[in-house]
Structure 1
Amino acid sequence: MPTTRLEDLGRETTFAELHSRLHLHPREAELWDLERRPDGLPHGTLRIIDGGVDGSGDIDTGKGPYVVLVDGPLKTSGHLDLWTYEYLPGLVIVRGDLQVRTLSFGNGARVFVEGSVFVDDWLFGQYGDHNAVLSATGELRARASFLDTHAFIYADGGVRSLLYAARGGWETLEPDIENEGEGNGTDFFDPTVLDRYRDLDFRLAIQAAREGRPLFLPGVEERFPARLTSRKTK
């Protein structure tokens, strides 16, 4: 089944219409930041998807820049890939729950969900120093979340997930498995998703996730019972 490009859904719009939809909204400032960039938003894509998205396959975004307002829930039974090329900006606002099988976000993609995030299996966040973030007003649930240094997830309703991340990113949340580049991946992960330094290779892990292959060694997930409890991110 071919991958659906999120920016190809819905209809073209303008910053003026987006501001009218998000007037006095907490995320309207994100629009102003993009609109007031010194170079503007050259070749940017502005889309509104009325009624939300209910898909059955993989969905991704292009290289950016883009602004996509999903005016409703975003659901698919496949993989959702929200990225931009390096430092190009991308903004996705979902006015409803986000529900997918697996999810990856990174680089300049900023994703705000007015509802909860439900990921059946694995969630990945990379290159947060390029401005990537995933934030939900509800809760966030995933079998496990794998975050590169400086990539963060936030959920007002708490996170229920095994967390692989760098230490010190949150005031209230500590990772279950530390992502500190110390070569201890052999203690936790399937050998097929490790790099030559014996750390998790995100590219290999995302590919394995999309193919339904295991990421953890047998019994690892059960060693972290906190993954089943709701934990605050701020």
Structure 2
Amino acid sequence: MTLDRLGTETSLASLRARHAHSRWSFELDVFAAAGDLACTPRLVESTVAAPADLATGPGPYVVVIEGSLEVTGHLSLWTDDYRPGLVVVRGDLRARTLSFDNGARAVVEGSVFVEDCLFGDHGDRNGVLSVAGELRARALLLRHGARAYAGAGVSALIYAAEGTWEGLWPDIADEGVGDGAQFFAGAVLDRYGDLDFKRAIEAARAGHPLFLPGVEDAFPARPTARRT
């Protein structure tokens, strides 16, 4: 079963009334005006513990989890091109690896703890991860305008385009000029020498290294919570 089929059916009106003062309630407006992309929201009234991988469907969807979300494998939050998707976790989110892309928007009222790597792609299609607490991962890798924000800071090696955040510069800048061979294993590079996100996600899920030996140690600030 996909994440967006968990819980019970509810309505946008019910979610608005229940969470009128939540910082993410405005996100529901997108679905109220969705027209052909309207969906029936789902409400999960407890913590979700998935013993393996877990993914959403292609969208549109709205899922509110009143507890935490714990995934022992890979968590994939995605939508088809330009379809909206919203996942709200009112507790903490934990996963071994995590990816979000296209129109998937994730709001976490607690903290996010990713054992290995966290990937965000296609932010130009509205993909974002917003965390009230801390975001902690081995590495946070973003491209194509994907954004991740954490109120208590990001503790991770950061790969992203310069200017992704005001006042925070990535450890490794995504310049798209074929310089990935300085940092990443050859198996996760494209033919131009840049990081291939599909290959990188597959490698992380399989437990294979993304970075060349010594690269992570060259960035001592990575375990420190840095404000976004």
Return the TM-score normalized by structure 1: 0.95
Q: Would you say how many aligned residue pairs link Structure 1 and Structure 2?
A: 228
Q: Which amino acid aligns with 2:26?
A: A
> Comparing 158-167 with 51-60, which one deviates more in the overlay?
51-60
Q: Distance in 1 between matches of 2:96 and 2:167?
A: 27
8 Å contact from structure 1 (residues 149, 179) kept in 2:
no
1:215-230 to 2 correspondences below 5 Å:
215-230=210-225
8 Å contact from structure 1 (residues 50, 72) kept in 2:
yes
1:35-54 to 2 correspondences below 5 Å:
35-37=32-34, 39=35, 41-42=37-38, 44-54=39-49
Q: Please, what is the CA RMSD of the aligned residues?
A: 1.0
Match status 1:155 vs 2:150 = yes
Per-residue CA deviation, residues 73-116 of structure 1 (Å, 9 max, x unaligned), is 00111100000001000001100000110000010011000010
Q: Distance in 1 between matches of 2:118 and 2:32?
A: 30
Which of 158, 174, 178 is the aligned partner of 1:179? 174
8 Å contact from structure 1 (residues 65, 88) kept in 2:
yes
1:13 match: 10
8 Å contact from structure 1 (residues 34, 40) kept in 2:
no
- Residue 24 of structure 1 and its aligned partner are, at CA, apart by 2.4
8 Å contact from structure 2 (residues 37, 83) kept in 1:
no
Q: Distance in 2 between matches of 1:21 and 1:203?
A: 38
Q: Which amino acid aligns with 1:18?
A: L
2:86 match: 91
8 Å contact from structure 1 (residues 56, 76) kept in 2:
yes
1:200-215 to 2 correspondences below 5 Å:
200-215=195-210
Q: Distance in 2 between matches of 1:56 and 1:173?
A: 35
- Residue 40 of structure 1 and its aligned partner are, at CA, apart by 5.2
Which of 27, 32, 57 is the aligned partner of 1:30? 27
Per-residue CA deviation, residues 170-209 of structure 1 (Å, 9 max, x unaligned), is 1121000010101001111110000000000000000111
Which of 74, 83, 95 is the aligned partner of 1:79? 74
8 Å contact from structure 2 (residues 11, 40) kept in 1:
no
Report sequence identity in percent: 55
Return the TM-score normalized by structure 2: 0.97
CA separation of 1:45 and 1:199: change in aligned 2, threshold 3 A: farther
8 Å contact from structure 1 (residues 56, 78) kept in 2:
yes
Q: Which amino acid aligns with 2:44?
A: I
Match status 1:61 vs 2:94 = no
What is the DSSP-based 3-state SS (H/G/I as helix, E as strand, rest coil) of the residue aligned with 1:101? strand
